[in-house]
Structure 1
């Protein structure tokens, strides 16, 4: 009886001990799940913010009257801010309160987005070039005379309008500087989210669960770009000063190069969401006990103590080696080993060419499609959100699935990447063939009688039909005449009268149109440029279909491409290899590519707008043929050397891995899947960092 009592008591003690052990484990597992949910939300916010900036670049350019090279600098300021603190965050952040640092980062990221939107609330209402000078007709029966022989008419006295606009009271610092500072601040705030978030998961999640959690993060992060494009599409439909001006007096449409949507609304929304995402991190503890399987506690304690005693000497030895490798001498020695690795160096340079072309293409693609195909920015962002981004997401998943299903080793991964990359390039080469004819603009691309312009465009703004109109040649207020020509303004079209109000304003008795269309006696002009031909819309559909298919192949090769970053280096150098790879891409490609792409595109501008002070503003119309040639020449010019280097890299890899059959040679580390399994687990932060570059892989 006493023995039964002792047995019962021992079972109760065992159950109590098990309950005491499981209770904190459940609590800490719950906190880890809360952290993952909060981190997923922050991932969505940062990818959302990245897309909002990329998609709003044309609107920012027009609103602040900047050139394409200046707006390229604004776009690259994110990388500047990110690179300023990434080393400090990666080094000191892991030793500090990780959730709190991530929360501060989200808070700074949100404040950066709000700072980006803030100039809208301190600037005057948006003024676009117009012969009405922003003063709409009082009623629909009033008659406005664009072509006036009165030298004191308001259409010709632009200097008084500039004085009234408060130009002299403007600060010497351009307002777009605050947009640049906000984007830079967003880059600073985003820095700790990926490296420290992955580190926290890796530290406190079960080993078999951490990879699954990281996969969830990357999958959910793709929601951000989709929402971002849809959000920008909605915001661009709204006029920039909505709620403050009478929209019935606005004379421009969404397809007009002067149209500016409510770009600030997207940044404001992202800023609020980012600040909200920061809140949960301040309630998560600094450290969590890493969960382990609790089986047969008494026996496991004996076994673990024996194992610890047996491995103590090994741990001390590894600790000494780690400390030696972390000093400055060890760093430079590792850097020298990486840079003397020809396979890694060739891959790094080829990736830089590819990445630079990708960033430049992505930054100015929407402007090209708008100028060349006459599509509105709202429609373009909608198509990217509902077609392009889901396609890329599916293809990235498919690329990883193919690699796993076929159990590809190093050479197989390289083959998959090269084949997908070549397929994408083959499709990209065909894109310039989908072109539309340039819209004839009298006095700019053609003469007033329809002949091709052989002289500089700015030398022929006037003709005999408008020589008595006292027009301002700097005003860009295009109208489409009944003769099929676009005129830079109703005054330069020689229009004598008008009827209507706002977007319905129609001009009549236009002398220049009458000279070209005297047989039909139609002499009217309508606001806006003449529409593209019907076949241009069909070519736009073809362009988007080919572009989407090309993006599909890019996505398939995305995961294998990231694997090649560390496949050709020793396992202990993978972290440094990935870090150097990202540093070079973001510093040279992410910052410089938008600037020199924008400067090259500026050279194809035919008509510059003017800001409130009369200085050169944003470009209103480009030579579409020149734009196309420059745009794709830059992309292909960066792609060709990248392809050559990829071919050389593949030949070297084939020689190494083909001859050795995956075995090590001359001290080289075999880097097939089996040998890399353990090092990969110790370097999840670096691998995830390579995958998670949402600013540059959208």
Structure 2
């Protein structure tokens, strides 16, 4: 290990950029209190909060609402979630290479403004589209999905095909806007997570890098939690709350046809990005502490390429790009750090995208509750883990070798927790599908003597529950009446109820169950608590490697390759880890 030398060249003072905080020529003395690495890290934390809020929080929790609102299959919604990675994959490498020797705060501010535009575009489908059309009638005494014994219900193929064509044409535009919005979010975040991290590293002491990066990553984790909570709460509001009177809507959040106000949270993120972009713009190319920090650094880079990459003109043209990549891929320490980050993405990527939906399906809870649970787990899990990792590096003043060993131990422990997260609650049987309509008779489908004259369809799953008994829809339960009391919809006069109570419970009489509540049955299941506890432990162990991993990456490459190093690392993680896991998880939902 040799001390890096920084010789002053003749005329360097004239070429040295201003180290004062401000915009253009407006750089008053009162603003120079902000011109420190700690205050800059604060603004990066604010940015990371809103980035985590929208990208990994809100978008993930509103996927179910988007699927219902725009008739999207899980494969399409999975692509929406991955669109952020599509935008950042190439841009991370480009910003990492060309941004290293340019004005980093200005590039970061521009990226943040681009993210504000992306959040706005993501919410546009709601404002340019028509009001949501649901199947349940607004008339409290009528429903399109109850038993109509006197009606000859028909649904011709031509009528259905025409409706499907109309929906398909409009969905293409909305789907495109959702994709474009998330791609812009990915492109805009690329500067902050490449040159932004190297800006922190080059302006602070080596032992503080992991701690400061841990602060920023923890802020992103808190943002994710806030996104899940806020997104879950906004989903309890009707999607067209700005277009119709919510009191006139007969649906409730427990109704399978309910679509929440998914578009509110992206607008909040837009305002947040606008608020943080301009303070970031004001920072100089280098903070006043830069020279002192660099003189105290000792190189831990592998391969001895410091002298070549430290040349003034290295990295300013395309001809040096292949050399930069070659130095990275021939650095074994760097390559193994990238593989470790990819494994980390395999563990976290799919759960971050489909975590709320997974909890909803595995434990029979509504999406609002599932989003809240994910938010509660995310704050101490991911945020606490990253703070723990950064603190341990600072506390023990770990070098590159020690950081890598610590991260490896955490990852092994996280993998051992995996089997415990297979826990799930048993699904209540759907009457006519999982259980026969008559006791002792084979399950023969959804049609029985109690509903064969109702003209029921199977186009939409609209479950009803009564004491653990689930019917496919009010029509399949033989219900002829629907009643709304205090905004809650119930169904009555259900002819199939007697068969259900006879078949599923000999101790339950029809008089005990006089009406059905929309939605699946909710019950106590201790496995939810087991799942949450082990998921929390796994998150702490996994996220404890993130900020130390970045610090180790910065130590094992030459200084002028820090940004391109983190950019290629992000490219590798998204290609090998996160994208592949999300695609696999998406196909198995």
**TM-score band w.r.t. shorter chain:** 0.7 to 0.9
Q: Is the 8 A contact 1:444 1:453 kept in 2?
A: no
Q: Is the 8 A contact 1:490 1:507 kept in 2?
A: yes
Pairing of 1:101-250 with structure 2 (within 5 A): 101-128=107-134, 130=135, 132=136, 134-137=137-140, 146-153=146-153, 167=166, 170-171=169-170, 173-198=172-197, 211=209, 217-218=216-217, 220-250=219-249
- In 2 relative to 1, CA 163–29 (structure 1 residues): closer, same or farther, beyond 3 Å? same
Give the Cα–Cα distance (whole angstroms) in 1 for the partners of residues 408 and 208 of structure 2: 30
> Which residue of the other structure, out of 580, 583, 586, is the alignment partner of 1:595?
583
- In 2 relative to 1, CA 420–95 (structure 1 residues): closer, same or farther, beyond 3 Å? closer
- Between stretches 444-453 and 43-52, larger displacement belongs to 444-453
Pairing of 1:485-634 with structure 2 (within 5 A): 485-500=469-484, 504-517=488-501, 520-522=509-511, 524-534=514-524, 536=525, 538-562=526-550, 565=553, 577-601=565-589
Q: What corresponds to 1:274 in structure 2?
A: 273
Give the Cα–Cα distance (whole angstroms) in 1 for the partners of residues 323 and 176 of structure 2: 41
Give the Cα–Cα distance (whole angstroms) in 1 for the partners of residues 267 and 143 of structure 2: 41
Pairing of 1:467-486 with structure 2 (within 5 A): 467-481=452-466, 484-486=468-470
Kindly indicate whether residue 64 of structure 2 is the aligned counterpart of residue 58 of structure 1: yes
Q: Is the 8 A contact 1:145 1:498 kept in 2?
A: no
Q: Is the 8 A contact 1:69 1:594 kept in 2?
A: no
Instruction: Say which SS state the counterpart of residue 35 (structure 2) adopts.
Output: helix
Kindly indicate whether residue 21 of structure 2 is the aligned counterpart of residue 32 of structure 1: no
- Between stretches 89-98 and 231-240, larger displacement belongs to 89-98
Shift of 1:274: 0.9
- In 2 relative to 1, CA 200–22 (structure 1 residues): closer, same or farther, beyond 3 Å? closer
Give the Cα–Cα distance (whole angstroms) in 1 for the partners of residues 397 and 441 of structure 2: 60
> Which residue of the other structure, out of 416, 420, 426, is the alignment partner of 2:416?
426
Q: Is the 8 A contact 1:110 1:274 kept in 2?
A: yes
Q: What corresponds to 2:425 in structure 1?
A: 436
Q: Is the 8 A contact 1:439 1:532 kept in 2?
A: no
Q: Is the 8 A contact 2:217 2:383 kept in 1?
A: no
Kindly indicate whether residue 46 of structure 2 is the aligned counterpart of residue 41 of structure 1: yes
Instruction: Say which SS state the counterpart of residue 465 (structure 2) adopts.
Output: strand
Q: Is the 8 A contact 1:226 1:390 kept in 2?
A: no
Shift of 1:80: 1.1
> Which residue of the other structure, out of 333, 349, 360, is the alignment partner of 1:370?
360
Q: What corresponds to 1:446 in structure 2?
A: 435
Higher helix content, 1 or 2: 1
Instruction: Say which SS state the counterpart of residue 53 (structure 2) adopts.
Output: helix
Shift of 1:452: 10
Give the Cα–Cα distance (whole angstroms) in 1 for the partners of residues 580 and 20 of structure 2: 54
Q: Which sections of structure 2, spanning at least 5 residues, go unmatched?
A: 1-18, 22-26, 293-305
Q: Is the 8 A contact 1:248 1:502 kept in 2?
A: no
Give the Cα–Cα distance (whole angstroms) in 1 for the partners of residues 403 and 150 of structure 2: 74
Instruction: Say which SS state the counterpart of residue 496 (structure 1) adopts.
Output: strand
Give the Cα–Cα distance (whole angstroms) in 1 for the partners of residues 207 and 343 of structure 2: 36
Q: What corresponds to 1:460 in structure 2?
A: 445
Give the Cα–Cα distance (whole angstroms) in 2 for the partners of residues 495 and 162 of structure 1: 28
Structure (1 or 2) with the larger CA radius of gyration: 1
How large is the Cα RMSD of the aligned pairs? Answer: 4.2
Q: Which sections of structure 1, spanning at least 5 residues, go unmatched?
A: 1-20, 294-315, 602-698
- Between stretches 513-522 and 63-72, larger displacement belongs to 513-522
Post-superposition Cα deviations, 1:392-447, rounded to whole Å, max 9, x if no partner, equal 32232223333444455555444433332232222221122x32221111233333
Shift of 1:152: 3.9
Instruction: Say which SS state the counterpart of residue 456 (structure 2) adopts.
Output: coil
Shift of 1:206: 7.2
Give the Cα–Cα distance (whole angstroms) in 2 for the partners of residues 104 and 411 of structure 1: 36
Shift of 1:109: 0.6
Post-superposition Cα deviations, 1:551-600, rounded to whole Å, max 9, x if no partner, equal 22223344444455467778887665544322111234333432331122
Shift of 1:544: 1.2
- In 2 relative to 1, CA 152–245 (structure 1 residues): closer, same or farther, beyond 3 Å? farther
Give the Cα–Cα distance (whole angstroms) in 2 for the partners of residues 573 and 542 of structure 1: 44
- In 2 relative to 1, CA 461–255 (structure 1 residues): closer, same or farther, beyond 3 Å? same
Q: Is the 8 A contact 2:309 2:560 kept in 1?
A: no
Shift of 1:466: 1.6
Instruction: Say which SS state the counterpart of residue 507 (structure 1) adopts.
Output: strand
Post-superposition Cα deviations, 1:64-105, rounded to whole Å, max 9, x if no partner, equal 221112111111111111124333333444555544433322
Q: What corresponds to 1:663 in structure 2?
A: none
TM-score normalised by L of structure 2:
0.78
Instruction: Say which SS state the counterpart of residue 126 (structure 2) adopts.
Output: helix
Instruction: Say which SS state the counterpart of residue 263 (structure 1) adopts.
Output: coil
- Between stretches 343-352 and 75-84, larger displacement belongs to 343-352
Shift of 1:546: 2.1
Give the Cα–Cα distance (whole angstroms) in 1 for the partners of residues 392 and 491 of structure 2: 62
Q: Is the 8 A contact 1:80 1:587 kept in 2?
A: no
Q: What corresponds to 2:12 in structure 1?
A: none
Shift of 1:490: 1.5
